[in-house]
Amino acid sequence: MENTLAVPPGGHSVLVRVTDIRQYAYCPRVVYYTMVVPVPRPVTFKMEYGVDAQQHVEALEMRRKLRRYGLHSGERHFRVDLESPRLGLSGQVDLVLLTPDEAVPVEFKHTERPVSKNHRLQVAAYALLIEERMERPVRRGFICRLPSGRLQQLACGPVERQQALEIAASVRAMLHTQSRPGPTGVRARCTDCEFRRYCADVE
């Protein structure tokens, strides 16, 4: 499928992970402390729970009806690895629903909080990768909240896709310059951040 977004003709030598796009949109310093100046990172309950729960989630998903996604039929593909030097992106999407007419990315989130912009950009980035790999249009995506299984449909339009590519470009620039970006403007995110002790300029 032809992509109308502006990307370099020769592609990118550095592939940015889609999860880093999500993290950078949340707070750029999370990516900095993970990729540029790696610092000790405690294993949180969410990390352990996410690993242990994956197989259970997939088994549960197989028992659910595709009608809840607005589909009459389709194939489920779990943990799909995606990579595109042309787009400069890579990642693993939790679930792709594949029909002859479209592909639908689904991300599982262990939270009941409202879906934020960084999650929308994550799904948009997956949409770009899926269209290139599976040659199906991606018109929408879903966040599936766990453990409730509640769904929220997200748009995967040109605005979200372009913003995702722009953030990927910012990540590459940070990796090239090795410079620390500014913190998130939403200071409430700093309260329980595992990297807060490294941000002396954040009060």
User: Is the whole model's pTM more than 0.85, yes or no?
Assistant: yes
Q: For the domain that residue 123 is a member of, what is the CATH number?
A: 3.90.320.10
For residue 119, being part of any structural domain is answered with yes
Run means of pLDDT, 10 residues per run, the chain, 203 residues:
57 91 96 93 59 77 93 96 97 97 95 89 98 97 90 94 97 96 92 90 81
What pLDDT shows up at residue 52?
61
Residue 11, CB-side half-sphere exposure with 13 Å CA sphere? 12
Cβ-proximal residues to 150 (8 Å cutoff; 6+ apart), any chain: 112, 144
For residue 102, being part of any structural domain is answered with yes
For residue 203, being part of any structural domain is answered with no
How many domains is the chain partitioned into structurally?
1
For residue 3, being part of any structural domain is answered with no
What pLDDT shows up at residue 13?
84
Separation of alpha carbons 203 and 50, rounded Å: 30
For residue 202, being part of any structural domain is answered with no
For residue 157, being part of any structural domain is answered with yes
> Could you write out the DSSP letters of every residue in 140-151?
EEEEEETTT--E
Q: What is the DSSP letter of 64?
A: S
Residue 114: both structure tokens together: 């409202």
For residue 75, being part of any structural domain is answered with yes
Residue 1: both structure tokens together: 């499928």
Range of the domain at 70: 16-197
